[in-house]
Amino acid sequence: MSLPAAAAERGFEFGTRYWLSSGENRFAHNAQGADPTLGNPTSILTYEELDARALELHWRSNFSSDGWFFKGNFGLGEVRDGSFDDEDYDAAQAKTDDTTSAVRGERFSYLTLDVGKDIWASAGGSTLGIFVGFQQWSEQVDAFGLMTTVGGSPNLPESTRVITNDVLWRSLRIGVAGSAALTGRLRVLADLAFVPYSKLSNDDSHYLRADLGPVPNIVTSGRGSGVQLDLELRYALGERLEAGIGVRHWALSKDRANVSLAGATVPVTEFETRRTGVTATIVGRW
């Protein structure tokens, strides 16, 4: 289906975006196969309330008159704070340990590259397209100190680093992207991606657990899937300049994964990384 000429009226967009968000990384495994006295799940590690900020470059190029486009973003940020909870269980889910640590600033980054085609466009500038793409998303956090609520682990001050978590997802994205003109200056943009396949790599470095060997001493690998949504309201400040505010939600979880620790390989029962927040954007259009 041919598109109106209005579809190619603006050929290129480039802008900066600020993303303020909160996230969580949750991981659990079952080591009963290696030791039947342990619970299922054997251990649950939760990094939560991971408040973060990122600065992002983003772009879109409409590179053909029949609706083909290339878009993407690249962001760098820091995780400002959060908490880490480590729970361990014996058989019959008797909790043997429960400790909490403070998460302090570390980094996260992401790169998204999509290619797609507008399959519909109106004379007023509204469009609807489909795309396929790739994303790499990584986060690293450090946890300090130890407060024990169950078990015999000694409390430790926040000057002591107890663990580093480093998670990396490399994902295939398939989705739809649309833009709807509300008034002469106001429009809404939506980008919804389904992630049918994502390669998961996660390293935990327990610095105080000599029994687990050299760091990283708990290594997870597998594959997963998820969804990603960007929704933004844009206002034209001039002929070639827009400002926008929006919301963003990314969530990926394991479909199948294993973890290696203390010389054994055991199944992962749960693994999810998610991040949700608000965005502010300045965009130039040519």
Residue 11, domain CATH: 2.40.128.90
Q: Note whether 177 and 190 are within 8 A (CB).
A: yes
- Tens-level pLDDT at each residue, the chain (286 residues): 344 434 345 589 999 999 999 999 999 999 999 999 999 999 999 999 999 999 999 999 998 888 999 999 999 999 999 999 999 999 999 999 999 999 987 899 999 999 999 999 998 889 999 999 999 999 999 999 999 999 989 999 999 999 999 999 999 999 999 999 999 899 999 999 999 999 999 999 999 988 889 999 999 999 999 999 999 999 999 989 999 999 999 999 999 999 998 889 999 999 999 999 999 999 999 8
Question: In total, how many domains does the chain have?
Answer: 1
Pairing of strands 127-150, 186-206: unpaired
Q: pTM score, two decimals?
A: 0.94
Pairing of strands 264-285, 12-29: antiparallel
Provide the residue range defining the domain that includes 177: 5-285
Instruction: Give Dmax over CA atoms of the chain in angstroms.
Output: 71
* Among candidate residues 12, 20, 15, 19, the one with its CA nearest the CA of residue 57: 15
Q: How far apart are CA 87 and CA 269, in angstroms?
A: 14
